[in-house]
Chains A and B, each alone.
Chain A
């Protein structure tokens, strides 16, 4: 953008000042004056007008530039003079101590002119020159860099971020924090509620499981699938004559059950609900199809104080056995162990009926 008006301006400057110096020198010392300096009065429009236009229609600008250039070059003299008159207005007071310098590039062919900016940049960067102006500019840029670094630092630092905030911003931030806190509190309450609910239900589930397990164990004792222990008696029936038959054993068993026996084992056979007794033809007894040999040893879990009298009543089991030349001995124990188990068969026909 600036390349179109610029050569003209430079050419005009040459007309006015009529001095040619090295590009290097030009960059160092202040040239014509603030024509292009963006901060300077009316020159702002002068410089920026094309810049804005250019930013808006970038692609369209390119051909215009290339077209305008050759035309402008010769025609530059009259037009920019007018412009210069306006732009150079402040020159007298500002430029008094400044050497006015003109680009030699301006009088060179356009191709060289296009490189002028680059050459000036190179010249300004190298070699470094020590002058008062450079030092002051360096000082200013130093303060800019310092402020930039401080600002970046403090913006990234969360704590001091609030330090520079305005009051209204602080109020807004506070409001936001308040509402956020409220939201979070609410969320927390909800989560706590659901946690309590879950804990409750898991406790209930645990409880139910525990009860079920207990129940299963109790039922297992009754069904004969679990070992049982507790106070009880051990009844030993010694029958040297072989007079004891299955029905006598069954009577004994019934008597024990009637007296409250909870788990019963005869020798190594667990007595359960479907236990049966059979006489074997050659003498002896089978229980649940297993041959049981003498002496018959009943291990019974139950209250010994109930069981013993029940067996000893006149005309009861012990008397009956004794009358058949068998000897029955009862020992009460604080702890007997019924450790024989039965294999549980799943009922084939019977199904649980709904309540």
Chain B
């Protein structure tokens, strides 16, 4: 519950405060967001499976974000940034879908 509140408050604060981000971070933000979403879906699924562990969630969340940003950064350095970020988004999207399917099975039993 508190976690959900955290998410909601984050969205509200982001919408109303509109903080300025340093330019260096801006290209990696979308990928990091998608990676974090993947971690969140994985966490919800683990919770429904009854195997949720905050430590694992925190580590996976942070490592997901860092690795995704790193891949994009590396891609930018290699000159294939847009392709690589597309690939990352595709992979994360597939994972999000599969996690969402598992969650759906738990919640709707369908």
Contacts and interface: CB of A to CB of B under 8 A. Distances in A.
A242 B41 CA distance: 126
Identify the 3 closest CB pairs spanning chains A and B, nearest first.
Answer: A145-B10, A149-B14, A30-B53
Interface of B: 1-15, 18-19, 21, 23, 26-27, 29-30, 32-33, 36-43, 45-64, 76, 79, 81-82, 94-95, 97-99, 101-102, 105-107, 109
B57 A137 contact: yes
Nearest to A136: B58
Interface in A148-190: 148-151, 153-155, 163-166, 168-169
B53 A38 contact: no
Given A141-B40, A147-B33, A153 B82 contact: no
Given A26-B50, A39-B56, A144-B33, 6 more contacts: A38-B45, A51-B98, A120-B48, A137-B54, A145-B6, A145-B8
B10 A166 contact: no
Interface in A124-141: 124-130, 132-141
Interface of A: 1-3, 6, 10, 23, 26-27, 30-40, 47-48, 51-52, 54-55, 94, 98, 101, 103, 105, 114, 116-118, 120-121, 124-130, 132-151, 153-155, 163-166, 168-169
12 contacts: A31-B52, A38-B46, A47-B45, A54-B101, A55-B101, A94-B55, A114-B109, A117-B49, A125-B4, A139-B6, A142-B6, A153-B14
Nearest to A157: B18
Given A55-B101, A144-B10, A6 B49 contact: yes
A1 B62 CA distance: 28
B52 A27 contact: yes
Given A38-B46, A150-B19, A142 B29 contact: no
Contact of A138 (B6, B11, B79): B6
A147 B60 contact: no
Nearest to A169: B82
A163 B2 contact: no
Contacts of A154: 21, 26
Contacts of A23: 50
B51 A121 contact: no
B63 A39 contact: yes
Contacts of A38: 38, 41-42, 45-46, 60, 95, 99
A148 B2 contact: no
Contacts of B76: 166
